Structure 1
Amino acid sequence: MTATTAQAPALVLSRIVIRLGPVALIDGLDLVIAPGTVATVMGPSGSGKSSLLAYVAGFLDRRIFQASGVVSIDNADVTTLKPQQRGLGLLFQDDLLFPHLSVAGNLLFALPETVRGRTERRAQVDEALASADLAGFGERDPATLSGGQRARVALMRVLISRPRALLLDEPFSKLDSVLRDQFRAMVFEQARRRALPVLMVTHDPQDAEAAGGPVISL
């Protein structure tokens, strides 16, 4: 099974095979995702969607699964690198905000160490919050935020880490229909603006339609 997008790929999956015992969940997947493009992997529960995302991210449980294939970002093979070395940003169904940190503290946690100086680090956090229509929310407790606001903070925490690609594990599924549409549009717009390749797994055809990129069905 093969899906490609044209020119200047930033995230490339080559000959990906993932097996669970005798069952091949993924059998020879080749996928090229260009900057700013959202590729969607669809299928029912147990079809291998999340396993594929875990393999790309580097945390697939090899005690349970057998897997092979190459993951490249910007023409660099990252297949054997640890998850934190791959330069990938992950957004999940749950926002996973740290409850003991403020909104700003959550973003500061993800800010690269190369950004130095308290003033500069706080300025980048404030800029990220403003871009998510959350200006002035830095000192808020995450528990006081609405579901949509928490989702936006989670997104900005991923983006402020300066990933080279985004992985989306059904991050819209727990939002109501109105918030889902709004947040989905925001995620895709941020990815396009930053020229990030995006790999999304979902069971919702509306997610794939909104993404507008290649679709792989498992």
Structure 2
Amino acid sequence: MLRLEGVVIDNGGFRLGADLAIETGHKVAIIGPSGAGKSTLIGGLAGFHPVAAGRMTWKGTDLTGTAPGARPLAMLFQDGNLFPHLTVAQNVGLGLNPNLRLDGGQWARVDTALAHVGLQGMGTRKPAALSGGQQSRAALARVLIQGRPVLLLDEPFAALGPALKAEMLDLVDQLVAETGATLLMVSHDPQDARRIADQVILVAEGMAHPPQETARLLDNPPPALRAYLG
């Protein structure tokens, strides 16, 4: 279980409160008005923003002061962060070792990860030679190869067209089901939540609220969410 107990995340003076728990293996969408703090929440979970109060735990282990790389979480950012001078395989290999000193078994794991996301045989290409959807798959492979039990997505598919975004969400859904990872996904589109998430965290008015069942929340939204959805 991922638990936030009286947590206050400080993002450059903007503060977001959270007192909630997420059961292991759930797929949770994080939605709310623009600027409400959705990215602040997962940035705080990942260790990129300091916790001014409270504590975060994963299966009882305190994460509050833990360095980002030592946390049981992997994060996929909005732009994917692929390095243009590296091959696709090298970009994915960064998920295993930042200096890319990988042995044969590790490179085999990279090939397996690429095949898993539908990029078999594309490891020698540079990111510029891939389509937008293929770049998203490569970025996803780099996150998945880390084998962390919690996966954080900060709207990584927002720039894709509707069909490609739906394809990527379905791929994430499939891969998370296979690995048993816990998923937290920031989205501005409630249809993304309906497509993939069994629960939703509403971020509004300075608070990240405890997760609720997706259909129940979206079918009967509270005033802050209703104003956002229109």
2: distance between equivalents of 1:23 and 1:140?
A: 41
The secondary structure found in structure 1 opposite 2:81 is coil
Q: Larger deviation: 11-20 or 163-172?
A: 11-20
Counting only pairs closer than 5 Å after superposition, residues 94-173 of structure 1 correspond to structure 2 as 94-112=79-97, 118-173=103-158
Which of 33, 42, 59 pairs up with 1:74?
59
Change (3 A) 1:140 1:24: closer
Which of 42, 46, 61 pairs up with 2:35?
46
Query: What whole-Å deviation, never above 9, does each CA across 1:147-192 have from its counterpart, x for those lacking one?
Result: 0000000000011112121111111211100000000111122112
- Given that 1:73 and 1:164 are in contact with CA atoms closer than 8 Å, whether structure 2 keeps it comes out as no
Counting only pairs closer than 5 Å after superposition, residues 8-87 of structure 1 correspond to structure 2 as 9=1, 11-18=2-9, 25-26=16-17, 28-35=18-25, 37-60=26-49, 62=50, 67-87=52-72
2: distance between equivalents of 1:94 and 1:178?
A: 18
Amino acid at match of 2:159: K
Gaps (5+ residues) in structure 1? 1-8
Q: What's the C-alpha RMSD, in Å, of the aligned pairs?
A: 2.2
Deviation at 1:86, TM superposition (A): 0.5
Amino acid at match of 2:44: Y
Change (3 A) 1:183 1:82: same
Deviation at 1:81, TM superposition (A): 0.4
| Identity across matched positions, percent | 41
Match of 2:214 in 1: none
Deviation at 1:106, TM superposition (A): 0.9
- Given that 2:28 and 2:185 are in contact with CA atoms closer than 8 Å, whether structure 1 keeps it comes out as yes
Query: What whole-Å deviation, never above 9, does each CA across 1:69-106 have from its counterpart, x for those lacking one?
Result: 22222321111101111121101211110111101111
1: distance between equivalents of 2:124 and 2:14?
A: 49
2: distance between equivalents of 1:157 and 1:170?
A: 16
Deviation at 1:33, TM superposition (A): 3.0
Change (3 A) 1:131 1:69: same
Counting only pairs closer than 5 Å after superposition, residues 171-190 of structure 1 correspond to structure 2 as 171-190=156-175
Match of 2:186 in 1: 201
The secondary structure found in structure 1 opposite 2:94 is helix
Residue 216 in 1 paired to residue 201 in 2? yes
2: distance between equivalents of 1:21 and 1:161?
A: 29
Match of 1:89 in 2: 74
Match of 2:227 in 1: none
Q: Larger deviation: 42-51 or 69-78?
A: 69-78
- Show structure 1 runs of 4+ deviating over 4 A: 19-24
Aligned length: 201
Match of 2:207 in 1: none
- Given that 2:11 and 2:40 are in contact with CA atoms closer than 8 Å, whether structure 1 keeps it comes out as no
Deviation at 1:31, TM superposition (A): 2.3
- Given that 1:16 and 1:30 are in contact with CA atoms closer than 8 Å, whether structure 2 keeps it comes out as no
TM-score by length of 2: 0.80
Match of 1:6 in 2: none
Match of 2:211 in 1: none
Query: What whole-Å deviation, never above 9, does each CA across 1:181-217 have from its counterpart, x for those lacking one?
Result: 0001111221121111111222110111112322122
